Copies of this chain bind each other. A is one copy, B any other.
Amino acid sequence: MAEPASRLFRPDEADDDTPSTATEAALKRLKRDLIRGVLPSGRKLKIRELTERYGIGASPMREALAQLASGGFVNIESNKGFRVAPVSRSHLVDITQTRQIVEGEALRHAIANRTEAWEEEIFTSFQLLKWEIDRRDSRSEEWLDAYEERHRRFHLALIAACPLTALKQFCEDLYTQMTRYRRMLKEMGFSEQIGSSQHEEIMSLVLDGDVEKAVATLRDHIAITATAVLADDRI
């Protein structure tokens, strides 16, 4: 029996990757476009445009938007519709610091509940990430997507053994929020190498069970994107 989705608590990871309803399909594509930055920050999301773009009716479209709104990607205002949640310096600082706290805690709990499988997944996802960085081909949308996918996988792997579902889910949400900023960085022409060296260090510290150093390094790593983005005054 597949468990249904829930935001604050998800006992079982139920990946329905084949959208069987129009709402799900719209949700998936819309989220992707938001993260990719195809739909820029602050932009008005007119129902008409969206229904044409994604080829579905207004009701499922609004349903998908309502979900994204709760997830913080989209803002609603009564009788004025939806718009892409704006990015801002203060928002970036906020989610960065919050992420440092909660992802650090989650890592602590993960290490305290380590298993073989968890360690293996960390190693695997690290290797995949490293290979992806080595054969990098910036400016290619596909490469950026592949890189982002592996980066995400690595970060989620680190905290996967944390038994607190709600905490882990929140980390995942924050990570996703941060993706837009990370993407901006790439588009500003920064090297993907920024912070890359830390991945191996984090992995080693985590696998060695050096909790304090691991958490400290993870926190530093989380701060790097923010520092780099904030250094640019176009934002």
Contact = CB atoms under 8 A, between A and B. Distances in A.
B4 A79 contact: no
A138 interface: no
A95 B54 CA distance: 37
A95 B8 contact: yes
Contacts of A69: 5-7, 67, 70
Interface in A84-132: 85, 90-91, 94-95, 97-98, 101-102, 105
A170 interface: yes
A22 to B, nearest CB: 11
How many chain copies?
Answer: 2
A64 B101 CA distance: 31
Given A9-B91, A67-B70, A70-B71, A79 B21 contact: yes
Nearest to A168: B98
Interface of A: 2, 4-9, 11, 16, 20-21, 23-24, 59, 62-64, 66-67, 69-72, 75-79, 83, 85, 90-91, 94-95, 97-98, 101-102, 105, 163-167, 170, 173-174, 177
A164 B97 contact: yes
A164 B62 contact: no
A66 B10 CA distance: 16
Given A62-B59, A90-B11, A2 B77 contact: yes
Given A98-B164, A102-B102, A164-B97, A20 B66 contact: no
A146 B111 CA distance: 42
A97 B23 CA distance: 34
